Amino acid sequence: MVFVCTGNICRSPMAEVVLRHYAQRAGLSHRVASTSAGTGDWHVGERADERTLAALQARGYDGTTHRARQFTTAQLQDSDLIVALDRTHERVLRNWATEESDKDKVALLLSFDPHADGTLDVPDPYYAGQEMFDDVLGMIERAVKALFQQLEPAIRSTS
């Protein structure tokens, strides 16, 4: 599974780390591959934004090993699920897909959260303060938890 945002230093690394946490807690980390990427190449090789790391650390997650990378079209074929953090990323990913089966792999993260109240986009906290990063992490945690709860039975049945 690949989580995708713009630069791969704020939202998508949060989602990657949170999913990895749920998989590990369920004893399924050997069955779940969680990674992240950005649609752009501005931050390739950089660590996650310091505010991302602070938000993660405050909730007991470790994002310190993350290094930003850009999404590649090869990931469309290699991934079972590609999770976009907002509709802009979803459009870009679907445009990059040449096969309908690859387009069908793209989903919006908040579409998994039954409490999202029609909100489809996880806001980009990059130009905001720490409080926004904390709020965004909360949104991501709820949606990733709901996503994992949907996937867990299928993951367990193939173990």
Tens digit of each residue's pLDDT, the chain (159 residues) = 999 999 999 999 999 999 999 999 999 999 999 999 999 999 999 999 999 999 999 999 999 999 999 999 999 999 999 999 999 999 999 999 999 999 999 999 999 999 988 899 999 999 999 999 999 999 999 999 999 999 998 888 875
Full strand arrangement of the beta sheet holding 106-108: 35-38, 2-5, 82-84, 106-108
Active site residues: 5, 11, 124
**pTM for the complete prediction?**
0.96
Task: Give the separation between CA 102 and CA 114, rounded to whole angstroms.
Answer: 25
121 contact partners, CB below 8 Å, separation of at least 6 = 85, 86, 87, 88, 108, 110
Is domain 2-150 given the CATH code 3.40.50.2300 in the classification? yes
The C-alpha angle with vertex 30 and arms to 51 and 84, in degrees rounded to 5, equals: 45
Domain boundaries, the chain: 2-150
